[in-house]
């Protein structure tokens, strides 16, 4: 389980963009983050991924106090939390499978990367992830020939291939049509249900959060103002954001 207590983020010489965020994330939970533009959604994900330095707060992952463990704490987050930026970039002239294998590359010795030789375990792991996002039939298709939704699903597989337990996804369906959005979110939901992966995703547009998330949290001006079960939001709740 992940426990965040009183997370705050102050931009050096600038504004305070997150204030007193406390949040638990359970295994297999799909949490959607909603909030107006500039409310701190991306910053929250980046702080959870330790891509931004925290100004204050406590971060406990599986009973490990991350900031008390120094480098070992950071390595744990790197291993266990996959971060997917908005509009992830794939290598266009490489296959879907090769793009997923790149996600495993940091665990691969340099000589293997240089010679292009792939360990069979890495290959099998990447194939497995491609299957989990429903793209087995597209594994050998070049990335530039994939649809927007398929590219996004390759990016999810790439983010998770090294065994992360949590996926932090910044607007994973931005720019996708409704059909592709539905496929991507169904994949994410399946990963939660069947693999026990936790997903924390910014889904601030439309009713995707209400349809797919187990839980919806809302930010307003860097503060957590809403934390409800995934369901249709009331007008009063929407007004809080
Ligand atoms: N490096 C920075 N320097 C100064 N301000 C920053 C920096 N990064 C983020 N901010 C500010 O922090 C606030 C939160 O930004 P963030 O990107 O998290 O918002 P958001 O909710 O994801 O918005 P959007 O929906 O538009 O993507 C914004 O006011 C933004 O201008």
Of 50-54, 70-74, 120-124, 233-237, minimum mean pLDDT range: 120-124
- 42 C-beta closer than 6 A to ligand 1: yes
| pTM metric for this prediction | 0.90
Report pLDDT digits (tens) over 93-149. Answer: 999 999 999 875 555 555 555 555 556 777 888 999 999 999 999 999 999 999 999
Cβ count within 10 A of residue 78: 15
Domains of the chain, residue spans: 2-236
**CA–CA separation, 171 vs 86, rounded Å?**
6
- Atom 24 of ligand 1, nearest CA residue: 37
CA of 80 to the centre of ligand 1 (A): 25
- 233 C-beta closer than 6 A to ligand 1: no
Is the CA virtual torsion 29, 32, 48, 155 positive or negative? positive
For domain 2-236, is the CATH number 3.40.1170.10? no
Q: Name the more confident of 205 and 42.
A: 42
- Atom 17 of ligand 1, nearest CA residue: 42
- 175 C-beta closer than 6 A to ligand 1: no
**CA–CA separation, 134 vs 157, rounded Å?**
10
- 45 C-beta closer than 6 A to ligand 1: no
Which pLDDT does position 25 carry in this prediction?
97
Q: Give the mean model confidence (pLDDT) for residues 88-95.
A: 92
Measure Cα distances from 225 to 234, 237, 238 in Å: 14, 9, 10
pLDDT at 49 exceeding the cut of 90 = yes
- Atom 18 of ligand 1, nearest CA residue: 40
CA of 225 to the centre of ligand 1 (A): 17
Report pLDDT digits (tens) over 65-80. Answer: 999 998 999 999 999 9
- Atom 6 of ligand 1, nearest CA residue: 11
């Amino acid at each position: 389980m992940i426990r965040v207590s009183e997370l705050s983020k102050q931009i050096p010489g600038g504004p305070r963009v997150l204030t007193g965020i406390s949040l638990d994330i359970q295994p297999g939970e799909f949490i959607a983050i909603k909030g107006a533009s500039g409310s701190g959604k991306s910053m929250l994900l980046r702080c959870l991924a330790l891509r931004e330095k925290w100004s204050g707060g406590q971060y406990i992952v599986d009973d490990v106090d991350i900031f008390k463990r120094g480098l070992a704490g950071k390595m744990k987050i790197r291993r266990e939390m996959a971060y997917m930026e908005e509009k992830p970039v794939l290598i266009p002239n490489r296959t879907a499978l090769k793009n997923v294998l790149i996600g495993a590359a940091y665990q691969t010795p340099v000589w293997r990367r240089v010679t292009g030789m792939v360990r069979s375990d890495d290959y099998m792991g990447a194939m497995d992830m491609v299957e989990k996002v429903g793209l087995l039939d597209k594994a050998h298709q070049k990335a530039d020939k994939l649809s927007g939704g398929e590219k996004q699903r390759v990016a999810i597989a790439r983010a998770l291939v090294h065994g992360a337990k949590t996926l932090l996804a910044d607007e994973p369906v931005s720019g996708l049509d409704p059909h592709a959005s539905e496929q991507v979110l169904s994949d994410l939901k399946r990963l939660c249900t069947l693999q026990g992966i936790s997903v924390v995703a910014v889904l601030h547009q439309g009713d995707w959060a209400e349809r797919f998330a187990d839980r919806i949290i809302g930010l307003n001006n860097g503060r957590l103002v809403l934390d409800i079960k995934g369901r249709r939001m009331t007008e009063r709740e929407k007004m809080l954001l």
